[in-house]
A and B are shown apart, each in its own frame.
Chain A
Amino acid sequence: DQQVKQNSPSLSVQEGRISILNCDYTNSMFDYFLWYKKYPAEGPTFLISISSIKDKNEDGRFTVFLNKSAKHLSLHIVPSQPGDSAVYFCAAIDGNQFYFGTGTSLTVIP
């Protein structure tokens, strides 16, 4: 039973444009959400997070939005750069348990 879902396996955007990656969840007990970036043959690296008491968190080119009523979060990357090409995972926390989505592969076209 997948509690965190990323329904788009892949996304392609032009360099300089906005990338929007989406994530849906089913568990209303999740109190913290994170995005990770993963390159092939490497472990994931932390990108940005948001607490359930907030609806937006921004860090440079990366912004995460949380819509609790819709159980939906999104990651915006502006402007997108070729080095952003990677697999992006969203994750949610319930207590000490982490739940990951299946990932979205982002390709930024130069």
Chain B
Amino acid sequence: NAGVTQTPKFRILKIGQSMTLQCAQDMNHNYMYWYRQDPGMGLKLIYYSVGAGITDKGEVPNGYNVSRSTTEDFPLRLELAAPSQTSVYFCASSYTSGTYYEQYFGPGTRLTVT
């Protein structure tokens, strides 16, 4: 099992450009999440999905969009990139049933917007 994979690992964007951060998991997890981590801060939830076709906003959704067409993939779209979106982005997945909430994280994508 590869677990949770994220591409790219690094990216530099110019202000106003768009990009998609890719996330895939091969553990057949139903839940998937996108977080961002700013320097010296904890992780902030951007969006999450409880299954294919279902997504919902987290704590900091503005400036982002997601889709979940399959169980395996959960891409994060940035439209009109802004310097405030400079961060490290983590994707995670979990099999949530009852009280089992353990999340598996990908290695992260470091994004710089200049």
Cross-chain contact of A32 among B31, B40, B92, B99 (Cβ < 8 A): B99
Cross-chain contact of B101 among A6, A34, A42, A45 (Cβ < 8 A): A34
Minimum CB–CB distance from A90 to chain B (whole Å) comes to 9
Minimum CB–CB distance from B64 to chain A (whole Å) comes to 16
- Interface contact A32-B101, CB-CB below 8 Å: yes
Instruction: Report B-chain residues with C-beta under 8 Å of the C-beta of A49.
Output: 101-102
Output the residue of A9, A43, A45, A49 with the most chain B CB within 10 A.
A43
Minimum CB–CB distance from A59 to chain B (whole Å) comes to 12
Minimum CB–CB distance from A11 to chain B (whole Å) comes to 16
- Interface contact A96-B99, CB-CB below 8 Å: no
Known: A97-B59, A98-B33, A102-B40. Is A43-B107 also a contact (CB below 8 A)? yes
Known: A96-B48, A99-B59. Is A43-B42 also a contact (CB below 8 A)? no
Other CB < 8 Å A-B pairs besides A46-B104, A97-B45, 4 of them? A43-B108, A46-B102, A97-B58, A100-B42
Residues of B whose CB lies within 8 Å of any CB of A are 4, 31, 33, 35, 40-45, 48, 50, 56, 58-59, 90, 92, 96, 99, 101-108
Give me 12 A-to-B residue pairs in the complex whose CB atoms sit less than 8 angstroms apart, sorted by A's number.
Answer: A9-B40, A41-B108, A43-B92, A44-B105, A51-B99, A91-B43, A97-B48, A97-B58, A98-B35, A98-B45, A99-B42, A99-B45
